[in-house]
Structure 1
Amino acid sequence: MTAFENSLRHSFGIEGTDELKYIISQFEPVLLKKGEVFLEEGRSCDKLCFVQSGFLRIFTETENKQITQWIAPHGYFVTDLSGFIFEKMSRWTIEALTDTRLFYIDRNKYKKLNTFIPQWPELERQFIVHCFTTLEDRIFSHLSMTAEQRYHFFFQHNKELFHQVPLQYIASMLGMTPETFSRIRKKQ
């Protein structure tokens, strides 16, 4: 079973082989080159993607800096969820930090999944709950941990990122200035 199939099973709770095959058939492969944008802030978000390999950065720009919301390694689903589900303009830009292989499904195909898979509303609910709990965990860590604790926790669970993406993006994602991040890193 591929990482994509495993992630579909885990994130959506898909059990049947026929359903899994059908869902996979609705996704298209795409290769993004390093620096290429998958979604631009202020544009319509009409795709949900799965990162097969590489890294995507989700960020926004303010007047004086870029704020990284998340860095998605292989095995993650990525979209601007409120834009994708509610058809709002995207709040985020999603760009490839490395050459990145994706599988994506557009909103129209996604909406038609319930036509072919009767239990799709429940599977989709499980996926959104999974997204929500991941977000809750991130908020909890930002509110309850010191900068040093956030660094250690993130490092323990995402070591590969520290050698493959610019460290200022990780610092931003953890809610730290590059100087604080560097100071904590030197202590290690």
Structure 2
Amino acid sequence: MNEHLKKINALIDGFDAETNSALQAISKTKKYKKGEFLLYQGEVCKSSFWIEEGITRKYYMNEKKEVTTELLFKHDLAVAFSSYVSNQPSREFIQAITDVTVSCMDKNAFQHLKINHPQLIQLDLLMTEYYTMWLEKRLFEFHTLSAMERYKLLLKEQPDFIRHIPLTYIASYLGISLETLSRVRTKI
């Protein structure tokens, strides 16, 4: 997946000045405090959020229990993908775990830009491919790795950020109970 990210960055770096300027014109920097929501469940996701600083999570409610589906870090894209694509209400919340700075891009403005900037069509495709590969990787990990292996992988991939995430969110993200996470952590 790192190779795919390199392709995305190379494409962005190769944008002509006009495309860069157009993208900057529709991008807005927003700041969210710890605990604030970028998107509420039931809202239509009309923007994508590129995380510049901080950590967010995506979660849904299941019988009054929060289920964390994604932890998103610096350089990740936070978006309720099915809501964004279908213009249907989101099944998920997107919440800041820490203070967060994002570059927010309106979907309609981005779609309009693609008409005159074909490089953005390629960017859109590469981002969709990346997100699909990320989801496939996450699903594969759930089916093939033990709780301890999933936790070690998270530690390996995000060592600088893990201490900022409440253990309840980590346990939910890993698909285990808080008690199981505690046992896993004592064995490491």
Q: How high is the TM-score relative to the length of structure 2?
A: 0.90
**Kept in 2: contact 1:12–1:124 (CA 8 A):** no
Moved over 6 A (4+): none
Q: Does 1:73 pair with 2:73?
A: yes
1:46 matched to which residue of 2? 46
Specify which of 4, 7, 10 is matched with residue 8 of structure 2: 10
Alignment of 1:108-187 (within 5 A): 108-187=108-187
Alignment partners' CA distance in 2, 1:112 and 1:152: 42
* Number of equivalenced pairs: 182
Deviation at 1:77, TM superposition (A): 0.9
Alignment partners' CA distance in 2, 1:64 and 1:41: 13
Which region of structure 1 is more displaced relative to structure 2, 8-17 or 100-109?
Answer: 8-17
Alignment partners' CA distance in 2, 1:141 and 1:158: 16
1:4 matched to which residue of 2? none
**Kept in 2: contact 1:54–1:100 (CA 8 A):** yes
Deviation at 1:64, TM superposition (A): 3.8
2:56 matched to which residue of 1? 56
Alignment partners' CA distance in 2, 1:41 and 1:118: 33
Deviation at 1:121, TM superposition (A): 2.4
Which region of structure 1 is more displaced relative to structure 2, 71-80 or 10-19?
Answer: 10-19
Which region of structure 1 is more displaced relative to structure 2, 177-186 or 8-17?
Answer: 8-17
Which region of structure 1 is more displaced relative to structure 2, 83-92 or 11-20?
Answer: 11-20
Percent of aligned pairs with the same amino acid = 26
Paired AA for residue 127 in structure 2: F
**Kept in 2: contact 1:35–1:98 (CA 8 A):** yes
SS in structure 1 at match of 2:138: helix
Paired AA for residue 35 in structure 1: G
Alignment partners' CA distance in 2, 1:75 and 1:109: 21
1:102 matched to which residue of 2? 102
Q: Identify unmatched segments of 5+ residues in structure 1.
A: 1-6
Q: How high is the TM-score relative to the length of structure 1?
A: 0.90
Paired AA for residue 165 in structure 1: I
Q: Identify unmatched segments of 5+ residues in structure 2.
A: none
Deviation at 1:8, TM superposition (A): 9.8
Paired AA for residue 13 in structure 1: L
The Cα RMSD (Å) is 1.8
Alignment partners' CA distance in 1, 2:132 and 2:100: 25
Deviations 1:18-72 (A, max 9, x none): 2234323321011111111110011111010111111111111111411001111
